[in-house]
Amino acid sequence: MSYSSKYMRRAILLSERNVDKGGGPFGAVIVKDNKIIATGVNSVTAKNDPTAHAEIVAIRKAAKKLQTFNLSGCEIYTSCEPCPMCLAAIYWAHIDTIYYGNTKENAKEIGFDDSFIYEELKLSLPERKIKTQQYLSDKALGAFIKWNAKVDKIVY
């Protein structure tokens, strides 16, 4: 597979239409074997779901449609460079390629926190804005030991 402007135009059109509907200016399209598997638009405010960015919505739909948690062989076309949440989701989903329109700097200019969160993730835990503390590490490890010992586990 390789870049097709048709799918990028579709992602951009979705982003524009979503503004008209009162949502954030973001759209995404997931393509496999030159067919659209799923699309998504930012639905944070419409659905009261802070995780409902265009890419997350599209990934969830594509995985449901293909009945797999592994989207290798897929490409994502997104109207804006993915935020850290969406980029990490793309890694977890094993999507092959990312095509994007706007940059995170463009997103910052219109008031979205993408760049800020990218900077936060680079910091050590005590340096971050959100207070983060470890507790009961000895107890927490039990589930990891159990998982590790499990012979029939489904790895992803």
Least Å from the CB of residue 33 to a second copy: 17
Partners of 41 in the β-ladder = 27
Q: Which of 16, 55, 75, 119 is catalytic?
A: 55
55 flagged as catalytic: yes
Dist. CA 109–CA 62, nearest whole Å? 30
48 Ramachandran zone, left/alpha/beta (phi>0; psi -120 to 50)? left
Sign of CA dihedral 31, 32, 33, 35: negative
Q: Which is closer to a second copy, CB of 35 or CB of 133? A: 133
Q: Which is closer to a second copy, CB of 35 or CB of 134? A: 134
Q: Which is closer to a second copy, CB of 37 or CB of 93? A: 93
* Active site members: 55
